[in-house]
Amino acid sequence: GYVILVGRGANFITAHLPNVFHIRLTAPLPKRIERVQKLNSLTSEEATKFIRDEDRSRNRYSKEHFHKSVDEALAYDLVLNTDRISFSDAVELIKVGARRYFDRIRDQH
């Protein structure tokens, strides 16, 4: 069936599977701080600490278990900056990218 995996290392674990489309959503730190503040009712300082701690933890986990950085652009098929692209546009880009990717895989078999 169809599955969406979200989590630390999912893109590295599935890197060699031919039927997987890897996506990364990113944004500049100020935008991330703003979003975390709103979502979690935090102060700017609390949100900044939360993000920095999470980023360090993600990077440490990826390096320890996969010897890779989460920031490696080549580990993804599509990387979107959600500060420059709206969420609705990101959804459309993901849909189009995934459809084309899976159509190409299907046509190769």
DSSP state, 16? T
Is pLDDT of 1 > 70? no
Cβ atoms of 58 and 64 closer than 8 Å: no
* pLDDT tens per residue across span 68-80: 999 999 999 999 9
Give the distance from CA 65 to its chain's centroid. 18
Location of structure tokens 């703003």: 34
Question: Is residue 93 helix, strand or coil?
Answer: helix
* pLDDT tens per residue across span 9-64: 899 999 998 889 999 999 999 999 999 999 999 999 999 999 999 999 999 999 99
pTM of the complete model: 0.83
Residue 79 amino acid letter: V
Residue 55 is predicted with a pLDDT of 94
Cβ atoms of 93 and 85 closer than 8 Å: yes
Mean pLDDT of 91-101: 95
